[in-house]
A and B are shown apart, each in its own frame.
Chain A
Amino acid sequence: MSQDSLLSIRHLRTRFRIYEGLVTAVDGIKLDVYRGETLGVVGESGCGKSVTALSILRLLPSPPAEIQGTILFDGMNLLDLNLDEIRRIRGNAISMIFQEPMTSLNPVLTIGEQISEAIKLHQGGTRQEAWRKAVGMLQMVQIPSPDIRAKEYPHKLSGGMRQRAMIAMALSCRPRLLLADEPTTALDVTIQAQIVDLMIKLKEEIGTSIVLITHNLGLIAEMAQRVIVMYTGKVVEEAKVEELFEKPLHPYTQGLLGSIPWIGRKLETGGRQLQEIPGIVPSLLEMPEGCRFHPRCSRVMNICSKEEPPLVQPEESRRVLCWLWK
């Protein structure tokens, strides 16, 4: 199972030491990203999706953050590398796209400068070569007249254009793994579709694996092959995309899928217009006993509030963290 896995995370636990105590944002997760695949990571805000991505690149500031476990990338534990070594990985073998295209480009540097800086950093060469490659990347992400745009400052570009520029920057060194943290959340729906098409196309061209972090299930259906669902820092379900949409096992996943509005489809649940998951995500400081989802769960049993649920593997490709399937 692990011979073709590019990234393999085991027992990853990321905690933050804050005034009120030790907060566990990611609690012992296990995940694999295979070569050439797109792994979707879904969950509500604050479930640890972004922290997982930032932990992989070790971008969390170290005094408050404590990371434990192993993150094997191509057989090398990223958590054992020193700062110089991890910096050579960043942007080169693993790169990242952020949610906010409006703020993720530096307003005082031109687009071309920012992209060619990344290229020059990892591939060396002269300034002119790096600039030419940067313009080539802008062309690749379908920015019109890339040679003019490269000389412009980010404020002259629209949100969609900036996200293209960010993608160009992230892919400029042809990374083997791309961490896309809500890449389309801040964009208009039509632009979202363009960006998704672009990412699918570039993934084929460059052959990169993608970890797609999002709370947009439509995006997952469009792009991912496998999905993991996270809740309060734990992986509660893992499945192939079709399996997940066809038959979600975890009550939380069922709730997530039930809360998507479908135009033209009548809900079978009776008088309700749209399902919701009752309650809110518990505070990381006050986790409920037993299963962390049990106060909100529609199929809660006695045992759920007493003991932590086991990780069950009902089918070869699926895992679920729930007492229902024991």
Chain B
Amino acid sequence: MTETIQTQALGNPYRPADNQLRRSWAKLRRNKAALFGGILILIYLITALLAPVIFPGSPSAPNLMRSLERPSIEQPLGTDELGRSILGRIVYGSRVSLLIAIGVVAVGLLVGIPLGLISGYYGGKVDFGIQRVTDTMLAFPGFLLALALVAVLGVGLKNTIISVGISMVPIYIRLVRGCTLSVREQTYVEAAKAVGTRDRIILFRHILPNVMTPITIQTSLGMGTAILFAAGLGFLGLGVQPPTPEWGAMLGSGRAYLFNSPHVATFPGIAIFLAVLGFNLSGDGLRDVLDPRFRI
């Protein structure tokens, strides 16, 4: 395997990015768990994008004549208490959870990266201030913090994204700060300063790309956590509100029928499980591929 890669490198000396990609792909392919995670995410993405194709009807229109039907040819995953297709609601629910996952991670990154960079680069009082706030936030279990924020902000899709997002900010701040601390001591940062580069450019152009690897890994893992947290809020009725199909809320409302119609709660649960599993496995896989400590 290594030999083929080297031959390619010799034959193609001016395309380092391409070569790197190839090597990473080769490593990823050998990591079966990561590959499985990647396939899960791919299925998940396709489902979210092609939801209207996979399930042509409305996922929210009730049909009380057919409530709580068991899985059949016509309704592969059965129907819920209002007679809505569970398959349809899971398919459309993937859109909601994807939106939440992306939104949450975006909030985490947009707030966490700048604060982490500033905290790590400048140190001193600024660092102290940011880190004490981070400590305070980390003292709460993540889900509890999100719950408290929902209590303040109120329920709904937007507020779910904001509260779960904010509950993840301290993780990103810590991560970025830690990496920045080691990168800022590198000679190339000093060299950049010595040619008169502005701090803002040093932070975002010189330091940020050098700390992207752990951020990428954390982003994948964070998406899984985001889906889980949002589902948790939905389960408690504090997340996305009905009739929007949301996996956690579906699980919550299916709980009442757990003994007579277990399929109502089971399938959304499996959906959550597979999505989170996918992000976690691929996050681990990305770490194996990208982390230089594991590189041959």
Q: Which residues of A come within 8 Å of B, CB atoms?
A: 57, 59, 61, 63, 87-92, 95-96, 98, 100, 103-109, 114, 117-118, 121-122, 148, 151-153, 155-156, 166, 169-170
Q: Report B-chain residues with C-beta under 8 Å of the C-beta of A100.
A: 187
**A-contact bits for B174-205, CB 8 A (1 contact / 0 none):** 00000000000011111111111110010001
Q: Which of B187, B198, B201, B210 contacts A98 (CB 8 A)?
A: B187
Q: Does B56 contact A (CB under 8 A)?
A: no
With A59-B193, A118-B195 known to touch, is A156 a contact of B206 (CB < 8 Å)? no
Contacting pair A59 B210 (CB below 8 A): no
Residues of A within 8 A of B187 (CB): 98, 100, 103-104
Given A91-B194, A100-B187, A169-B191, 8 more pairs with CB closer than 8 A? A57-B194, A88-B196, A89-B196, A98-B191, A103-B187, A107-B188, A108-B209, A117-B195
For B195, give its contact among A63, A90, A153 (CB under 8 Å): A90
Q: Is residue B124 contacting chain A, with contact meaning CB distance below 8 A?
A: yes
Q: B190 contacts A95, CB within 8 Å?
A: no
Residues of A within 8 A of B190 (CB): 59, 98, 104
User: What separation, in Å, do the CA atoms of A166 and B192 have in the docked complex?
Assistant: 11
- The reply to whether B193 and A90 contact each other, CB–CB distance below 8 Å, is yes
B195 touches A107 (CB 8 A): no
CB atoms of A90 and B196 under 8 A apart: yes
Neighbouring A residues of B210 by C-beta, 8 Å = 106-108
- The complex places the Cα of A276 from the Cα of B52 at a distance, in Å, of 84
Q: A104-B188, A152-B16 are in contact. Are A96 and B194 (CB under 8 A)?
A: yes
B294 interface contact, C-beta 8 A: no
* Complex Cα–Cα for A151 and B16 (A): 11
The residues of A that contact B16 with a CB separation of less than 8 Å are: 152-153, 155-156
Closest chain A CB from B194 CB (angstroms): 4
- Whether A87 pairs with B191 at a CB distance below 8 angstroms is no
Chain B residue contacts of A88, Cβ below 8 A: 196
Residue with the highest number of chain B CB atoms closer than 10 Å, among A63, A90, A151, A156 = A90
User: In the complex, which residues of chain A have a beta carbon less than 8 angstroms from the beta carbon of B259?
Assistant: none
Given the contacts A103-B186, A104-B187, A108-B210, A148 and B194 also touching, CB distance less than 8 Å: no
Complex A-B: 15 CB contacts under 8 Å: A57-B194, A59-B193, A63-B123, A63-B124, A87-B197, A96-B194, A103-B186, A103-B187, A106-B206, A114-B192, A117-B195, A118-B197, A121-B196, A121-B198, A166-B191
Name B198's closest neighbour in chain A (CB-CB): A87
Residues of A within 8 A of B197 (CB): 87, 91, 117-118, 121
What residues of B have a CB within 8 angstroms of the CB of A117 in the complex?
195, 197, 201, 205
A175 (CB) vs chain B CBs: closest residue? B195
Contact of A106 among B14, B188, B196, B198 (CB under 8 A): B188
Evaluate contact between B14 and A105: CB separation under 8 angstroms.
no
Contact A90 B206 (CB under 8 A): no
A95 and B197 CA atoms in complex are apart in Å by 12
Tell which of B189, B197, B201 has the most Cβ of chain A within 10 Å: B197
Per-residue 0/1 for B1-32: is the Cβ within 8 Å of any A Cβ (1 yes, 0 no)? 00000000000001010000000000000000
Q: Interface centre among A103, A156, A166, by most B CB within 10 Å?
A: A103
Q: How far does the alpha carbon of A153 sit from the alpha carbon of B13 in the complex, in Å? A: 12
The 8 residue pairs across chains A and B that have the minimum distance between CB atoms:
A91-B195, A90-B196, A108-B209, A91-B196, A118-B195, A104-B187, A106-B188, A103-B187
With the chains together, A248 CA to B206 CA distance in Å? Answer: 45
Chain B hits for A104, CB < 8 A: 187-188, 190-191
List the A side residues contacting B14 at CB < 8 Å: 148, 151-152
A90, B194: Cα distance in complex, Å: 6
Chain B residues near A92: list those with CB within 8 A.
Answer: 196
Which chain B positions have C-beta within 8 A of A63?
Answer: 123-124
The CA-CA distance from A61 to B209 in the complex, in Å, is 23
* In the bound complex, CA of A310 to CA of B14 (Å): 61
Asked if B191 and A122 make an inter-chain contact with CB atoms under 8 angstroms apart, the answer reads no
A87 to B191, CA, bound (A): 12
The residue in chain A whose Cβ has the minimal distance to the Cβ of B194 is A96
Residue of B nearest to A89 (CB): B196
Chain A residues closer than 8 Å to B206, beta-carbon distance: 106, 109
* Cα–Cα distance between A37 and B190 once the two chains are bound (Å): 26
Hey, which chain B residues are within 8 Å of A170, CB to CB?
195
Residue of B nearest to A156 (CB): B16
B185 shortest CB reach to chain A, Å = 10
